[in-house]
Amino acid sequence: MPIIIFASLSLYAIGIFFIPLWILAPITLLLIVAVLIADPAKFVRLSRQILFLTLFLAPLFIIKTLLHNQGEFYRIGMFVLYRDGMIEAGMASLRVVSLFCAVFLVLKIMFPFEKYRKRYAKVKVLAAVFMAMEMFPEILSEIKASLAVNKAKSEKGFAALLDTLYERSIERSGKE
């Protein structure tokens, strides 16, 4: 039975990239309700973990929102926030929260928390890995483009990379 549960959880982790948002949101809600039913005393702990995960996902949301550069946008100070970027960032965050709740539920049903405290810590690592998988391609493409510009200008250093990223965001907002 544990093998079947972990196999289905693995398939869910892979399939989560292809599940539409209108299906994923109710699944996440059902997972939270299932945790509440499975162990009501631990629901407060799950709520704290989801709050921690939400704070952990803030950089994912911000970076995905700022890197997106097409469609309707909102200007907030010197930042330009694109509506589609915010939707993509919200979907990525929902995917991470859904996977976290699924893993939490499986661990909660199969193992007592106090006895397997060290194994539970792996859930946070899984959330970090999943977040990195979501952000990595976009961040890597932006950094590669900025490095190419820096190489052309013969500039070196991390400060030059940040300057170029800032210049590119200004150029994109100027085109709008």
Q: Convert the pLDDT of each residue in 128-156 to its tens digit.
A: 555 555 555 666 666 666 666 666 555 45
Q: Which helix (H) or strand (E) holds 76?
A: strand 73-76
Residue 97 structure tokens: 């929260």
pLDDT at 30 over 70: yes
Confidence of residue 96 (pLDDT cuts 50, 70, 90): confident
CA gap 75, 5 in Å, rounded: 46
Q: What is the mean pLDDT of residues 87-97?
A: 72
| pLDDT score at 158 | 61
Q: pLDDT higher for 47 or 148? A: 47
CA gap 14, 3 in Å, rounded: 17
Range of the domain at 70: 2-175
Q: Which helix (H) or strand (E) holds 82?
A: strand 79-82
Confidence of residue 115 (pLDDT cuts 50, 70, 90): low
pLDDT at 44 over 70: yes
**Number of domains within the chain:** 1
Q: What is the mean pLDDT of residues 19-44?
A: 73
